[in-house]
Chains A and B, each alone.
Chain A
């Protein structure tokens, strides 16, 4: 049954009468304005108190947070009071929006502000707006550019990881003996914390004097094995440890894709006389492209966050050869309390990541389409 104020389009979905008295609407608006006033007054008082403009205020900003929660709740209640059924529908989304705004959007805006300040925690004067100075400092910071260059190497290594992961997935998808055991065994490195990998592998197994891998290297004829002394070998060692941890992740995604492939297509190819390599390259690989791209993109996103192994094993050395952007920002932030500059570096990195991943997805989707069209042709 449609209420008197109900539009026709909503008739099918309406199950209750939704008449709203003017008093109810007024009460809803009053509640909202009251809550907004409380939030505004609380925030202004606290801001003025913090800036030493007035003598009274709260001990901290917590009351402002409570006022925001009160305002958010009032906003939700007011939706129902003012808009009735429509307002109830809004409630499915509104709390989530408020939560995201307070937990994501606000911190990002605050972070943006910080990134344009000169803020060293040891400075007695606190944050000072310094325009583009941090950006200029970044432009001439050899450590940051070196870390970015290293990230290119690290990201390129994903292609090798992908090849290995695909190979392992094919093996596990085949009818091999103890397949279930190997599936679990291959997943084990992924279950380990990278910090544990740093210590178990980087600091113990690769230890030069007593590490078993060092001893093996000696046995194989490397007289003075050293896994972290030369820049290239150190970078390679970090890549290998990271790959060992995360190849299983790509492998399991590809394996899931392989298992979901329609068997009829593969069998049809076989009947048409396709050799194993042709079957893989002309049928399996193209069909697996969407899964592969997802796996690669997610892996690259993981890779761009690479820091824990580096911090624990090499601290970015020797001479910055293994430094990642995140491990450099970590040092800038934690060891040097350089909050303004560190935040700018993180923001720029975020922008670079967004641009890179968006472009990657675009190129990948175009390439997939092209590949499929060629395949179809």
Chain B
């Protein structure tokens, strides 16, 4: 769980009565389990004493965990390591671990988790801490200059093309797969994610997706409902479940009031964010561009021809342009951080795509004025979806096309190939990675501040959360929006090819120009496609095609 989410949750910790109410409503939630969560509830009684004991370190509501707590968790979950490693087996082994040192916990946490592991195995770990902003450049430089000076790395899946594609990582041994119980991963984190050429390289420690956050008070407001009907809009006043409806609602809300406040509809971040801003256009586009019969949606895997200028993406860009006037003032200077934390949380706007943590912050943040008026779902769908193979827009018999955007695919732990020449060091490195990404320890990282979201099926066992003190209704809704995205059969998973953030970054520059000048969406998209082609040619088209196919598991 992200640190800020945890702190907000703790700040708004439920009282005993609410907890009892929450427990009483467990049956109702299980009955309405369209999310698949209900089926997991029975397993609450099988919760191991170890997991229960671990979840009480330090205990929900007694403040943020400290290094001693992380060490306790590390020690408590060491049993899995002991099955594969003898005491003192890595006595003379030194490993270097490169990870993040930003406002979340990442490396700080790993240090605590691995201290008991070091004491038991005798290995010593040296740490390289990087701010997130420096991470990409440091990694790229290490790769390009053949100066990989670390044995273990915390890395996001989008960089797998850069690292796995160049043979820089060590293949996961079979005993690690068993130790960490990889079958427990949510569907989308299973192969091909974390694999390359049929081989597995990644210990997942996080899951990522964009979900849809909306204000319930807007859609329960009688005045807005009356105005919606009076203006002759189609259908009832309700939470939009397609982008077509999101557009209609956003245009409708311009100039309206809720109470004494001005209303705004969907919030688009219009300023770049080091490449990460492109994910937000992606969240608008996936329902149009990701056809259930086609794994590709950003490039053609056969040719690396960009799809970013096909009718689906152009429609998404045009959608943004169409509601520019309905956005808050200064929106051109709003990056995703602004839309999430300074606008949505602070009461501006009624709909937002973001990673899973924003919605839960909105419920409990001290600076939030939206209070309890927030709920979550998977990203909206579309009445029709573009079929890149036929060049036609298809209307699916099953209804709207949904395609949750698995933006960034989450963090993982990877072992570098440079340890492979030393069997002892290799085993030590993989043992450390397996310890940090173990099944039990991961429940703790999901529940406590860590920088990581839930990513295993076992993380969605609501009673375990409730048992550690969380509000049941809230945590169910929070987790459901993520689980439904993770396990969606038409989830849009970005290509894990080298330089993927270069594509995103250059697209951000062009999109900023389109939005600022309100220029033609098709022409702008064509410029993005041309720039993407240039990057592909620069990196090497043939190798990119090969690596793209490899990333798709072909």
Q: Give chain A's interface residues, CB within 8 Å of chain B.
A: 60, 118-126, 143, 207-210, 224-229, 231, 234, 313-321, 331, 334-339
**Given A319-B515, A337-B140, are A228 and B538 also a contact pair (CB < 8 Å)?**
no
**Given A209-B348, A319-B516, are A124 and B540 also a contact pair (CB < 8 Å)?**
yes
Cα separation A341 to B335 with both chains bound (whole Å): 27
Q: Which residues of A lie under 8 Å from residue B333 when comparing CB positions?
A: 226-229, 234, 313-314, 317-318
**Given A225-B329, A228-B332, A317-B272, are A122 and B498 also a contact pair (CB < 8 Å)?**
yes
A selection of 14 A-B contacts at a CB cut-off of 8 Å is A120-B538, A208-B328, A210-B346, A226-B333, A229-B333, A316-B509, A318-B332, A318-B512, A320-B516, A335-B274, A335-B501, A336-B505, A337-B137, A337-B499
Interface of A is mostly: loop
Cα separation A229 to B165 with both chains bound (whole Å): 41
Cα separation A207 to B144 with both chains bound (whole Å): 40
Q: Give chain B's interface residues, CB within 8 Å of chain A.
A: 136-137, 140-141, 143-144, 147, 162, 165-166, 270-275, 328-333, 335, 342, 346, 348, 498-499, 501-502, 505-506, 509, 512-517, 535, 538-540, 543
Apart from A120-B499, A313-B333, 8 more pairs, CB < 8 Å:
A119-B144, A124-B165, A318-B271, A321-B516, A334-B136, A336-B535, A337-B502, A339-B144
Cα separation A336 to B328 with both chains bound (whole Å): 30
B505, A208: Cβ atoms under 8 Å? Answer: no
Contact partner of B512 among A120, A319, A334, A339, CB < 8 A?
A319
**Given A207-B342, A208-B329, A318-B333, are A121 and B512 also a contact pair (CB < 8 Å)?**
no
Cα separation A60 to B147 with both chains bound (whole Å): 8
B509, A143: Cβ atoms under 8 Å? Answer: yes
B330, A226: Cβ atoms under 8 Å? Answer: yes
Interface of B is mostly: helix
B505, A335: Cβ atoms under 8 Å? Answer: yes
**Given A315-B271, A317-B272, are A121 and B509 also a contact pair (CB < 8 Å)?**
no
A123, B329: Cβ atoms under 8 Å? Answer: no
State how many angstroms separate the Cβ of A10 from the closest Cβ of chain B.
50
B330, A228: Cβ atoms under 8 Å? Answer: yes
Query: Which 10 pairs show the lowest CB-CB distances between chains A and B?
Result: A319-B516, A122-B499, A228-B333, A335-B505, A318-B516, A121-B140, A122-B498, A208-B330, A318-B332, A121-B144
Q: Which residue of A lies closest to B273 (CB)?
A: A315
State how many angstroms separate the Cβ of A144 from the closest Cβ of chain B.
12
Q: Which residues of A lie under 8 Å from residue B270 when comparing CB positions?
A: 318
Q: Which residues of A lie under 8 Å from residue B144 when comparing CB positions?
A: 119, 121-122, 126, 337, 339
Q: Which residue of B lies closest to A331 (CB)?
A: B505
Cα separation A118 to B534 with both chains bound (whole Å): 12
A121, B346: Cβ atoms under 8 Å? Answer: no
Q: Which residues of B lie under 8 Å from residue A126 when comparing CB positions?
A: 144
Q: Which residues of A lie under 8 Å from residue B162 when comparing CB positions?
A: 122
Contact partner of B141 among A121, A125, A316, A336, CB < 8 A?
A121
**Given A121-B144, A209-B348, A320-B509, are A229 and B274 also a contact pair (CB < 8 Å)?**
no
Cα separation A338 to B531 with both chains bound (whole Å): 13
State how many angstroms separate the Cβ of B43 from the closest Cβ of chain A.
44
Total number of residue pairs linking A and B with CB closer than 8 Å:
121
Cα separation A335 to B271 with both chains bound (whole Å): 15
Contact partner of A227 among B166, B330, B331, CB < 8 A?
B330
Cα separation A194 to B233 with both chains bound (whole Å): 50
A121, B143: Cβ atoms under 8 Å? Answer: yes
Cα separation A126 to B145 with both chains bound (whole Å): 8
State how many angstroms separate the Cβ of B274 from the closest Cβ of chain A.
6
Q: Which residues of B lie under 8 Å from residue A317 when comparing CB positions?
A: 271-272, 332-333, 512, 516
B331, A315: Cβ atoms under 8 Å? Answer: no
Cα separation A348 to B520 with both chains bound (whole Å): 32
Q: Which residues of A lie under 8 Å from residue B516 when comparing CB positions?
A: 231, 317-321
State how many angstroms separate the Cβ of A264 from the closest Cβ of chain B.
55
Cα separation A278 to B514 with both chains bound (whole Å): 53
Q: Which residue of A lies closest to B159 (CB)?
A: A122
A224, B166: Cβ atoms under 8 Å? Answer: no
State how many angstroms separate the Cβ of B109 from the closest Cβ of chain A.
27
**Given A228-B330, A319-B512, A337-B137, are A209 and B346 also a contact pair (CB < 8 Å)?**
yes
Cα separation A315 to B276 with both chains bound (whole Å): 13
Cα separation A120 to B535 with both chains bound (whole Å): 9
Cα separation A231 to B516 with both chains bound (whole Å): 8
Q: Which residues of B lie under 8 Å from residue A337 when comparing CB positions?
A: 136-137, 140, 144, 499, 502
Contact partner of A229 among B331, B342, B348, B539, CB < 8 A?
B331
Q: Which residues of A lie under 8 Å from residue B147 when comparing CB positions?
A: 60
Cα separation A342 to B48 with both chains bound (whole Å): 56
Q: Which residues of B lie under 8 Å from residue A227 when comparing CB positions?
A: 330, 333
Cα separation A120 to B531 with both chains bound (whole Å): 14
State how many angstroms separate the Cβ of A92 from the closest Cβ of chain B.
37
Cα separation A121 to B143 with both chains bound (whole Å): 8
Q: Which residue of B lies closest to A337 (CB)?
A: B140
State how many angstroms separate the Cβ of A66 from the closest Cβ of chain B.
17
State how many angstroms separate the Cβ of A104 from the closest Cβ of chain B.
21
State how many angstroms separate the Cβ of A136 from the closest Cβ of chain B.
12
Q: Which residues of A lie under 8 Å from residue B540 when comparing CB positions?
A: 123-125
Cα separation A339 to B515 with both chains bound (whole Å): 28
Cα separation A228 to B331 with both chains bound (whole Å): 9
Q: Which residues of B lie under 8 Å from residue A319 when comparing CB positions?
A: 332, 512-517
B538, A123: Cβ atoms under 8 Å? Answer: yes
B328, A335: Cβ atoms under 8 Å? Answer: no
State how many angstroms separate the Cβ of B142 from the closest Cβ of chain A.
10
Cα separation A339 to B331 with both chains bound (whole Å): 32
Q: Which residues of B lie under 8 Å from residue A60 when comparing CB positions?
A: 147
State how many angstroms separate the Cβ of A363 from the closest Cβ of chain B.
36
B335, A315: Cβ atoms under 8 Å? Answer: yes
Q: Which residues of A lie under 8 Å from residue B514 when comparing CB positions?
A: 319
State how many angstroms separate the Cβ of A267 from the closest Cβ of chain B.
54
Q: Which residue of A lies closest to B512 (CB)?
A: A317
Cα separation A331 to B507 with both chains bound (whole Å): 12
Cα separation A123 to B274 with both chains bound (whole Å): 20
Q: Which residue of B lies closest to A223 (CB)?
A: B329
